[in-house]
Amino acid sequence: MPPEDVRAAIDGARRYFEALASRPQSQATIQIWLLPIAPMLTFYRFDRRAVFTIYNHQRDRAPVPTFIVEQGGTLYDFIRSEFDAMIKSDGGLARCVFPRDPVADA
């Protein structure tokens, strides 16, 4: 995928989740973090559950396994550890872009 298409896809996803968070009926806390590297897997954390998907290396899109794991298991602990390492304040790789921190932006 050309870099401009990747950027457009990321921007579209970011706008989608920002809009989702701004819905009046939304009770979720949504944070968006940008990571300057390509992770080796995709994961999403929801309270005590996590969803992760591995990548394939084929040129064409092909189905890949997707897993739902729960807190208390080895895979959940691994995902939580990876996530925490990415966002930690002292040396984490990611930066929070939503919600914006006015103090950090100053």
Look at residue 84 and tell me whether its pLDDT is greater than 90: no
Q: What is the mean pLDDT of the chain?
A: 86
Q: 3-state SS of the chain: helix, strand, coil percent to 5?
A: 35, 25, 40
The answer to whether the beta carbons of residues 81 and 87 sit under 8 Å apart is no
3-state secondary structure of 23: coil
What pLDDT digit, counting tens, does each position of 28-46 carry?
888 898 888 887 788 888 8
- Supply the pLDDT for residue 10: 92
Q: Looking at the chain, which runs of residues are DSSP E strands?
A: 32-34, 41-46, 49-54, 66-70, 95-98
